Amino acid sequence: MIAGMSDTAEGTSDTTVRDERPPGPRTGDAAHPTPRERRIAAWRGAPRVLARLGFVAPLGERLALLDAAGSVYDLDEMSDVYGNGVVEALERRVAGLLGTEAAAFFPTGTMAQQVALRCWAGRTGNPVVALHALSHPEVHERNALSRVSGLRPVRVTGEPRLPTAAEVRDFEEPFGALMLELPLRDAGFVLPAWEELTEVVEAAREREAVVHFDGARLWECTAHFGRPLEEVAGLADSVYVSFYKSLGAFGGAALAGPATLVEEAKAWRHRYGGNVFQQFPTVLSALIGLERELPRLPEYVAHARVVAAALREGLAAAGLPWFRVHPEVPHTHDFQVWLPYDAEAVVEAAIRSAEETGGVLFANHWEPKGPGLAFTEVYVRAAGLEWTADDVRTAAAEFARRLVREAGARPTAARRAGGRPAPSRASSPPGGPHD
């Protein structure tokens, strides 16, 4: 029934962490390392960073994470085989945290969401999935929903925010499921207000559609909403969560929802090749992340707001005529910074600043978003708690002065001074936040 539906426009491929794409054929050498190699080396060696992310750490450090495995699971138990044992323990833990009847572990979020939406399409009889134009399946999964699972995505909006209740209620064609990415990463890790989110869910239900949350980063949304995790997850009919984006695990994801849906999803997990023989290293790392990192996420979110405010003040003090920290008050512990310079110039200034000062504000890749315009993502984790507001202001001003000096010319985008954009689309970064 759902095979043969038309595709959406061609998407792009992407690793989940955009700034660390696989390097491909090596172009540098020991004497002339690539900018990427220099950036990662500076990040690894810097005494002070805002986040130490595991995926760029040496293998030895990553393996050391499992030293804590005995604190989260009985290591005298037999290992897992095709999803039992420690995998089932993780599934029960996730279901308890999210307040759902059941949960199923998946090797990837791409697989988990395809399976969830395919199951819902069979139940509703409608293969149409309403989602945001900037949602992960549309931008980063090579049209997997349509090419692999026979679903038909339709875009409710392309604005750099979550869909509104009016947009969902007035959408011109029927849909069986509404998928909401919380937070919407490519728009700047943005979230709606709690009242707005509940209204959007109600609007979908009025249309007899189910609601699925792409909650890859749902764990850290509780601070913004001021609601416990199970209350946030309880708005949706099903929820996907990731174990590595915020919790620092080796990988993996979970789909949570009604027991009957999860049982069906496990059958499709097998069909999609996701019923892996043994997964205990990844599962143990996920349990460690839930134990260690999950309780600290509200602290990271609170400090990200301190960092964002200090960044604005430092960049302004250095005399940059225009820049943007987006959102001005971060909704999670991740946010964007936009600068009116070519990406190559910003990359070089950021790397040289890290190499020479030992402090890394901008560890991630800078992407061009138009002529003379670049942006990056800033992550704040445990390491960032060591930075005071004064530390951030000083480092931001040093970076900005270096950028102005080394870039040579004035910024290419004419904006008003004081770190505020010219009056246009004040709700979004210039040039659009999508790739």
What distances in angstroms separate CA 386 from CA 121, 309, 378, 381, 395, one per listed residue?
Answer: 47, 16, 16, 10, 13
The per-residue pLDDT for 411 is 53
The per-residue pLDDT for 108 is 98
| Cα 329 to chain centroid, rounded | 17
Report the C-alpha gap between 379 and 335 in whole angstroms: 7
Q: How confident is the prediction for the chain on average, in pLDDT?
A: 89
Report the C-alpha gap between 67 and 193 in whole angstroms: 40
Span between the terminal Cα atoms of the chain, in Å: 32
Report the C-alpha gap between 261 and 102 in whole angstroms: 9
The yes-or-no verdict on residue 405 having pLDDT over 50 is: yes
Quick one: tokens of 241? 């969560």
- Residues 252-261: tens digit of each pLDDT: 999 999 999 9
Q: Picking from 47-61, 83-97, 166-180, 272-286, which range would have the lowest pLDDT averaged per residue?
A: 47-61
What 3-state DSSP class applies to 433? Answer: coil
The per-residue pLDDT for 308 is 98
Report the C-alpha gap between 184 and 327 in whole angstroms: 12
The yes-or-no verdict on residue 6 having pLDDT over 60 is: no
Q: What are the beta bridge partners of residue 374?
A: 339, 368
| Maximum Cα–Cα distance across the chain | 64
Nearby residues of 196 by Cβ (< 8 Å), 6 or more positions away: 162, 164, 165
Find the angle CA(160)-CA(163)-CA(164) to the nearest 5 degrees.
120
The per-residue pLDDT for 32 is 86
Nearest to 332 by CA among 132, 145, 189, 160: 189
The stretch 404-411 carries a mean pLDDT of 71
Percent of the chain with pLDDT strictly greater than 90 = 84
Q: Picking from 186-195, 362-371, 402-411, which range would have the lowest pLDDT averaged per residue?
A: 402-411
Report the C-alpha gap between 216 and 227 in whole angstroms: 18
pLDDT-derived band of residue 407, with 50, 70 and 90 as boundaries? confident
The yes-or-no verdict on residue 420 having pLDDT over 50 is: no
- Residues 59-103: tens digit of each pLDDT: 999 999 999 999 999 999 999 999 999 999 999 999 999 999 999
Q: Picking from 13-22, 269-278, 287-296, which range would have the lowest pLDDT averaged per residue?
A: 13-22
The per-residue pLDDT for 412 is 53
The yes-or-no verdict on residue 183 having pLDDT over 70 is: yes
What distances in angstroms separate CA 293 from CA 224, 405, 429, one per listed residue?
Answer: 17, 40, 30
Quick one: tokens of 201? 């869910």
pLDDT-derived band of residue 274, with 50, 70 and 90 as boundaries? very high
- Three-state SS for 96-122 is HHHCCCEEEEECCHHHHHHHHHHHHHH
What 3-state DSSP class applies to 361? Answer: coil
Report the C-alpha gap between 331 and 121 in whole angstroms: 32
CA dihedral of 14, 19, 22, 28, whole degrees rounded to 10: 140
Percent of the chain with pLDDT strictly greater than 70 = 87
Quick one: tokens of 310? 């200090």
Report the C-alpha gap between 104 and 255 in whole angstroms: 5
The yes-or-no verdict on residue 230 having pLDDT over 90 is: yes
**For tokens 């929903």, what's the residue?**
145
Q: What are the beta bridge partners of residue 367?
A: 375
**6 compared with 365, residue with greater pLDDT:** 365
The stretch 37-66 carries a mean pLDDT of 94
Q: What are the beta bridge partners of residue 354?
A: none
The per-residue pLDDT for 321 is 84
- Residues 187-213: tens digit of each pLDDT: 999 999 999 999 999 999 999 999 999
